[in-house]
Structure 1
Amino acid sequence: MDHAKNSNSKIRTAAHWGIYEIENGTDGSLSIRGAAEDADPSPIGLHMASDALKQVRVAKPSIRKSWLEQGPGANPHMRGREPFVEVEWDVALDLLAAEFLRIRTSFGNEAIFGGSYGWASAGRFHHAQSQVHRFLNLMGGYVSHVDNYSLAAGRVILPHAVASTEILLDQHTSFDVMADNTTLFVTFGGVPVKNAQMSPGGAGRHRVIAGMKAMEKAGTRFINISPVSDNMPVESEWLAIRPNTDVALMLALAHVLEAEGLADLTFLNSHCVGYNRFRPYLLGETDGIAKTPAWAALICGIDADRIASLAREMAANRTMINVSWSLQRAVHGEQPFWMTVTLAAMLGQIGLAGGGFGIGYGALNSVGHDNVRLKFGAFPQGPNPVTTFIPVARITDMLLNPGEGFTYNGKAYSYPDIRLVYWAGGNPFHHHQDLNRLLKAWQKPETIVVNEPYWTPTAKLADIVLPITTPLERNDIASAGGEDLIVAMKKVEEPFGQSRNDFDIFEDLAGRFSIDFSEGLNEDGWLRRIYAVSRENASAKGIAMPDFDEFWETGLFDLGSEAKPVVMLEAFRMAPDANPVPTPSGRIEIFSETIDGFSLADCLGHPTWFEPPEWLGATGLTGEQLHMISDQPVRRLHSQLDASPHSRGGKVEGREPIHISPVDAQARGIADGDLVEVFNTRGRLISAAVVSEAMMPGVLRLSTGAWFDMDRDRQIERHGNPNALTLDVPASSLSQGCSAQTCLVEIRRLGDGQAVRVEAFDIPSFAFSARSGDGEY
């Protein structure tokens, strides 16, 4: 199945951000364009084969000089500061096998952390996370993580309130149903279609913008409650809200519904439990503070009369309430999701066509589509013999504080003592918060191994870097839950340098321990097995998929004809006893006896307003602090392909730009395009200002994903990575999720001559080791 030499063939591949057609030119060049099936293709993938990306590729297995010369644990403070030595594959794998043997023998498998959090490839087989976890499981197990940076607080709270995020995201009311029925769409955090460019496993037809436009044409009115106004693809009323105060506003809306007799008591009594326990808090009977519009206005900055009128409008219309994932990436991030469900329950429209709630319209391309949900085959990871885990956003705490206790979802655990970290398919120096703190923690492990195509920040900070192929250099199959296109991802170019597939590396490494990693199958065999599982699952749903050879020849299977309108929780509404939600009561839990029983000070038994540790309403602010939000970027997925021409084209002076309101810019003498220093007690970074009316005063926006570029001598990040400044504390002791959106900073214009050169896309230096006279291994 080698298509690299078919010089004139048009074939397809897939990435998380879409399906693409590729032509091989006679001169060996590749031409990439969006697939004909996709009317709104993302431009992110058009530069996947660019020379700029090849310039930052890892060419050969590379080992940090001190680690190679002196052994594991040597000079960990020199990670990212000293040269690498390029070695042959057998040398690298022999050294890595010896290190695995040492760690397992001396410390046990609980000393191995298999990080590998990230989107990696859209392919179901060459999926780095599955590959490395399968290998580590076969080796006796590893310390794993639970949840994700995107949705951790929501993932933990929602099963207590209504259902898991997996269940809810699979059955979000479809855009066609909302176009026919929704008259008011109220969204907390907008509908950021830049996020909807992608789906895990590959976005098919991009339809979020079309879906929203159809609603607009049908007469749906939109209200955007957000610190920014440019996160909506349709005309909307903008209610500018202070970051981290949405729960106060939601409580005030709920207070109006209760006080004016607009709450649907019939639905609350028949389909919910605990409203009688929540109502006294809402009215102020338990804490002496009635959650009125006047109370909320002082917190969130929205006029009290507008709050009251909005509550009445929501009750008078078929209303869909949407909440962005960004709201729960904050201290007390569980509360806005729980309160969204509660507010929708009070309106009584859950399960009605066009009403109820959504937890992320615009978060993924698949949310809100009517595509059939088909469980596609995957590369099996197998069971993990090690039960120890951490919440995903607590990696720094784990490395710095082995043995320290933490709570997660009501149970007590402790952090393991990690000696070896293996990362494949991710970039913690993008995802994590307070990266200066992570840099310190990163010195704790004795060995850090990274499988990576590019010299990312994480690769530069590793001890052993193994060069990996990109999706263009191998065959695979792309399929995403809720998407409509299944794609044969065909190899179109030869691997760069000595790059190898993760599968081949782990098969080779496992062979050194007499472990059967491949089960006797090669790439073609595994693709056929994975496809056969998918075909069987499709048949059970009455869907006839072609055999593998026909699929591979045509390159595409379209599930779009199986689409049917979806109304979330419709069956539950019609017959709650026959179709209960998966909570302990089988009902929507506005008060949770389970959570109340955990006795957590920072997550009570019902939705609650907690004052954040950093916010614009805090006492003692000097007036210089601004609230920085760090959203997803427009021109890449997380940090993927940041070195591409498309991503670089959105930078200003080579740095990720920071958006600032005209009011705040003028007060600080900052003009559009100026280089600026953004800082707080956690760190400093250099960015470039974009003065924008879309920003409410008091708020800055610096998108994530600029490759972390820390000048460790000057202690300043040069490229504009907001996680040099963000807060690394748990959302709460319930979820331990990340709190990136709770972040105050200051900003000033950078003086002439104060800028330092960006080195994010420089590859590291290389040296030969003193262990070998001829420089060869």
Structure 2
Amino acid sequence: MVNQKNKGSNGEKTCLKGIGWLGFGLGANTAAVDVKDGKIIRIRPFHYEDKYKREHMKPWKIKARGKTFEPTMRSLIPPFSIVYKQRVYSKNRILYPLKRVDWDPAGERNTQNRGKSKYARISWDEAATLIAEELQRVQKKYGPYSVLAAADGHGEGKCIHGPHGCQTHLLDLLGGYTLQARNPDSWEGWYWGAKHVWGTDPVGQGIQNNLWLDCSENTEMMLFWGCDPETTPWGWSGQAASRLCYWFNEIGIETIYVCPDFNYGAAAHADKWIPVRPNTDSALQFAIAYTWITEDLYDKEYVATHVHGFEEFKKEVMGETDKIPKTPKWAEDICGVPARIIKALARKWHKQATSTAHCNGGSYIRSTYSHEPGRLEVCLLGMQGLGKPGRNQLKMIEWQFFALNEQMPGPRSEVIPNVAGAYHGWAFTGNESLIPKTLIPQAITTEEPFTWYGSSIAGFPKEDQFVQYKFPIDDKNSTLHMIWSDEPCWTTCWNGGNRMIEALRSPKMECIVCQQPWMENDCLFADIVLPINTKLEEEDISTDVYAGEFNLVYHEGQCIEPLGESKSDYEAVGEVAKKLGLYEEYTKGKSIEEWVKEGFDHSGIENMISYEEFREKDYYVIPTADGWENDPRGFGPFAEDPVVHPLDTPTGKLEFFSTDLAKYFPDDKERKPVPQWIPFGESHSESLLHPRAKKYPYLIVSNHPRWRVHANLDDCAWLREIPTCKVKGPDGYLYEPLWINPIDAKNLGIKYGDVVRIHNDRGWTLGGAYVTERIMPGVIYQDHGSRLDPIVAGESDRGGDNNLICPGMITSKNCAGEVTSGFLVGIEKVDVNELRAQYPDAFNRAYDAKSGLIIDAWLEEGK
């Protein structure tokens, strides 16, 4: 490797970059970026052994069943990292500040035209002045909490330069703001449900300590429930989960995939696929419990000593509370899994040491009432002796969200690095005024104060769910009148996107500022757009604790000069700070180099290597800890002695009957103290059992995308050439694939390549038909997060953005989580020529043939 400080004679250099999409101030997917003459030549795996030999790193080994699993000596970067060069040089890059042409802060603001109007180029001086003046005006007129900081979620993993939150630091200096609270989107059902069974903060998934070793030695069957380990972790954990799955196959662990789609993980690893209709998993889970109870197949001794409220749970299973015994035959009609398969799975689960596995959560845990399957999974694990050898819940990604506390499923390193000391604007903590992300549209349009329970912030303890919040916080504060966003993908990643578009056009919303490298999604509704450079154009410091190989801290050199007039998030907010006379306070008087040193000084490795040596080598691999094999394994200590090692629940046991839910929400029909089967209710009607299904007869499953990271990378031509990434329509447009079973396709007269409309009472979007038996009948599948390409903004879309038509309601009455899968839709074939005649402006835009990007469609003048 050529050190980035020691350039070759022909202008060559290599920089280390974490090309992952965490957005939490941490890096991932460490790669080597080769640069020549100021241009990115290639992005490739990073080789550990260039400067640190094996004896320093102390590579771990897992020996099980006569085989050995050990780390590779290079990073396992995914295709996303390799193609990121195209993202840097995308035609969609914003190269200079923009202002909406018909937005005049001194006159007519024309909020109704957001998403329609074009943009004109302005200078940085004008942009920073406009933003500073609007901040001062709005805060003076309405109060500081009238400004919303949309500063959270997935984005480029940066540290100094703004992993969501640089503007929050400046807004703090101005007297405060309202925080858009980060929902636990990948953990919704566990966060709102499972936490109340096993008490596991921060996000509700199980204790992960040392589970690679436990599963390797003891697990006989692994249930991959509603997840795809070959897809989901690419954005932040490379191919570590894939490698682990191959290891489990190699040592003979039987793998069962329970999901509506025969996903890529199932295709590569499954011994059996059990297709289940979206959002009916709780019916299947109840039927498994019924089989165990009626056939005497659960661990009675464990339940008697480790479980609170089993009798109440048993009554629910047997139908004593609602007159509906949850038999396999009853479940078959609901979830689509034959009763014989349910009983066979239940008997096999009892007979073999079984763990469940997830890669985050996927659509299984992001639907209506997702707290029910989330906590039912824990109840099933408890009935078979949770924490006993081979019986745990494994998170396939080498990291425990928000923990940094050694709750790692893989072998532990000597320290878990953390360079947050270099970052000054973290936006995920509490704030006096906050709003869950799912409630932002309501907060914009409301005229009256409203309340909800739980901040919804992913890392907050379960007790926070019993706290009532209010917006505005008191009678002295106003509702929202300005948004400053550095994560402009609400409309394509959250639930009820069309409802959000309507809110963004409200005359109450007087100014919207977006800062982003690319002109896409929410940027189309902004009044001012600031050009942000990518992390390959910045200097930073970072860590990688996701790789599944080694933990490391590294210096991220600047690969290339910023394109156009783009600046980093940190620098962009700094321009506004200058106009407000707060630049010194904002930067704390430190240079970028000094912030890098600050991060190193608090990283955990400062006593292992000098800063000078660190900068000379550019990275430090943290050795594997001695004795990691002897660390506790998952819930093992609790299983061995629940008195000495109680859970963090009021009773210290697994609470099949939640004492907290009974205490705080005694009248909540949608999240009772005992898990229940709830197909629809007060908040939702997204079920085939509801009368709405006559009009919208299909359930849609919308997973983490295979060829994107949420809304990132939808413009990469190398990916778009893959047939499962896009389907070329008869008009040449590359449509977002929509999987449909051949039986349904035949009944609807649909064939591969047809353009189809997915619709419900919230709007419609288009897709390219991909006819395949890899999706079960009665279900369609389209990934979430595709690029917004509005036909009529707020009503219809061409790009396949199905988040626009997700339910706008939260998970359930007292759970402010998202609902982005498992909802009702209709589907029909459409004639593109007829659509072109009806919507000529949208269908006659000029598109770049390779990337599918709209060329200058939103600019008054060409770039």
- Name which of 505, 530, 533 aligns with 2:599: 530
Bigger mean CA offset, 361-370 vs 589-598:
361-370
Which aligned pairs between 1:565-584 and structure 2 lie closer than 5 A? 565=629, 567-584=633-650
> In structure 2, what residue type is equivalent to 1:388?
S
- 2:574 match: 507
Bigger mean CA offset, 132-141 vs 601-610:
132-141
- Name which of 356, 379, 384 aligns with 1:347: 384
Deviations 1:157-210 (A, max 9, x none): 3332221145846725533431221111123214332111132xxx3x632122
- 2:16 match: 12
Deviation of the 1:3 alpha carbon: 5.9
- 1:474 match: 538
**Does residue 422 in structure 1 map to residue 484 in structure 2?**
yes
Decide whether aligned partners of structure 1 residues 38 and 698 sit closer, same or farther in structure 2, where only a CA change above 3 A counts.
farther
Cα distance in 2, alignment partners of residues 595 and 51 from structure 1: 46
- 2:262 match: 229
- 2:99 match: 63
Cα distance in 2, alignment partners of residues 714 and 392 from structure 1: 19
Which aligned pairs between 1:736-755 and structure 2 lie closer than 5 A? 736-751=816-831, 753-754=833-834
Decide whether aligned partners of structure 1 residues 601 and 424 sit closer, same or farther in structure 2, where only a CA change above 3 A counts.
same
8 Å Cα contact 2:30-2:75 kept in structure 1: no
Which aligned pairs between 1:331-730 and structure 2 lie closer than 5 A? 331-348=368-385, 350-358=386-394, 368-372=409-413, 374-378=416-420, 379-381=423-425, 386-408=431-453, 409-416=465-472, 417-444=479-506, 445-483=509-547, 484-515=551-582, 516-535=585-604, 538=605, 545-559=608-622, 561-562=624-625, 564-565=628-629, 567-597=633-663, 598-599=665-666, 600-612=668-680, 613-619=685-691, 621-622=693-694, 625-649=697-721, 650-653=725-728, 654-712=734-792, 715-730=795-810
8 Å Cα contact 2:483-2:513 kept in structure 1: yes
Deviation of the 1:390 alpha carbon: 1.8
Deviation of the 1:352 alpha carbon: 2.4
Decide whether aligned partners of structure 1 residues 170 and 274 sit closer, same or farther in structure 2, where only a CA change above 3 A counts.
closer
Structure 2 unaligned spans of 5+: 22-28, 48-72, 402-406, 454-464, 473-478, 729-733, 836-842, 848-852
Cα distance in 1, alignment partners of residues 771 and 450 from structure 2: 45
> In structure 1, what residue type is equivalent to 2:782?
L
Deviation of the 1:764 alpha carbon: 4.6
Cα distance in 1, alignment partners of residues 105 and 573 from structure 2: 25
Deviation of the 1:276 alpha carbon: 2.5
> In structure 2, what residue type is equivalent to 1:31?
R
- 1:217 match: 250
> In structure 1, what residue type is equivalent to 2:676?
T
Deviations 1:627-685 (A, max 9, x none): 11111111121111221223433222222111111111111111112222222221122
8 Å Cα contact 2:150-2:485 kept in structure 1: yes
Query: Secondary structure of 2:229's match?
Result: coil
Decide whether aligned partners of structure 1 residues 568 and 389 sit closer, same or farther in structure 2, where only a CA change above 3 A counts.
same
> In structure 1, what residue type is equivalent to 2:597?
R
Deviation of the 1:117 alpha carbon: 2.6
Bigger mean CA offset, 391-400 vs 503-512:
503-512
- 2:33 match: 22
Cα distance in 1, alignment partners of residues 596 and 399 from structure 2: 29
> In structure 2, what residue type is equivalent to 1:632?
H
Decide whether aligned partners of structure 1 residues 307 and 184 sit closer, same or farther in structure 2, where only a CA change above 3 A counts.
same
**Does residue 177 in structure 1 map to residue 239 in structure 2?**
no
Query: Secondary structure of 1:50's match?
Result: helix
Cα distance in 2, alignment partners of residues 559 and 531 from structure 1: 14
Query: Secondary structure of 2:279's match?
Result: coil
Query: Secondary structure of 1:63's match?
Result: strand
Cα distance in 2, alignment partners of residues 251 and 385 from structure 1: 37
Deviation of the 1:480 alpha carbon: 4.5
Decide whether aligned partners of structure 1 residues 182 and 552 sit closer, same or farther in structure 2, where only a CA change above 3 A counts.
same
- 1:159 match: 195
Deviation of the 1:298 alpha carbon: 1.9
Cα distance in 2, alignment partners of residues 83 and 678 from structure 1: 28
Decide whether aligned partners of structure 1 residues 751 and 4 sit closer, same or farther in structure 2, where only a CA change above 3 A counts.
farther
Deviations 1:590-623 (A, max 9, x none): 1111112213121000111101322234346448
Deviation of the 1:441 alpha carbon: 0.6
Cα distance in 2, alignment partners of residues 583 and 660 from structure 1: 43
- 1:148 match: 184
> In structure 1, what residue type is equivalent to 2:212?
F
Cα distance in 2, alignment partners of residues 487 and 463 from structure 1: 37
Deviations 1:392-441 (A, max 9, x none): 22221222224342422334333331101111134112212232221111
Deviations 1:672-718 (A, max 9, x none): 12222222221122211111111101111111221111112894311
Cα distance in 1, alignment partners of residues 207 and 649 from structure 2: 17
Cα distance in 2, alignment partners of residues 352 and 282 from structure 1: 24
- Name which of 322, 325, 330 aligns with 1:290: 325
Query: Secondary structure of 2:738's match?
Result: strand
Cα distance in 1, alignment partners of residues 282 and 105 from structure 2: 55
Aligned length: 756
Cα distance in 2, alignment partners of residues 170 and 513 from structure 1: 46
8 Å Cα contact 2:157-2:163 kept in structure 1: no
- Name which of 76, 81, 102 aligns with 2:111: 76
Structure 1 unaligned spans of 5+: 769-777
Cα distance in 1, alignment partners of residues 373 and 430 from structure 2: 36
Deviations 1:51-79 (A, max 9, x none): 884311111111112224645x7110111
> In structure 1, what residue type is equivalent to 2:369?
H
Cα distance in 2, alignment partners of residues 288 and 381 from structure 1: 54
Query: Secondary structure of 1:320's match?
Result: strand
Cα distance in 2, alignment partners of residues 596 and 69 from structure 1: 51
Cα distance in 2, alignment partners of residues 363 and 632 from structure 1: 18
Cα distance in 1, alignment partners of residues 858 and 240 from structure 2: 45
Query: Secondary structure of 1:110's match?
Result: helix
- 1:268 match: 303
8 Å Cα contact 1:678-1:686 kept in structure 2: yes
Deviation of the 1:137 alpha carbon: 2.2
8 Å Cα contact 2:147-2:481 kept in structure 1: yes
8 Å Cα contact 2:166-2:426 kept in structure 1: no
Cα distance in 2, alignment partners of residues 296 and 713 from structure 1: 40
> In structure 2, what residue type is equivalent to 1:761?
I
- Name which of 49, 62, 71 aligns with 2:85: 49
Bigger mean CA offset, 690-699 vs 557-566:
557-566
Q: Percent identity?
A: 23
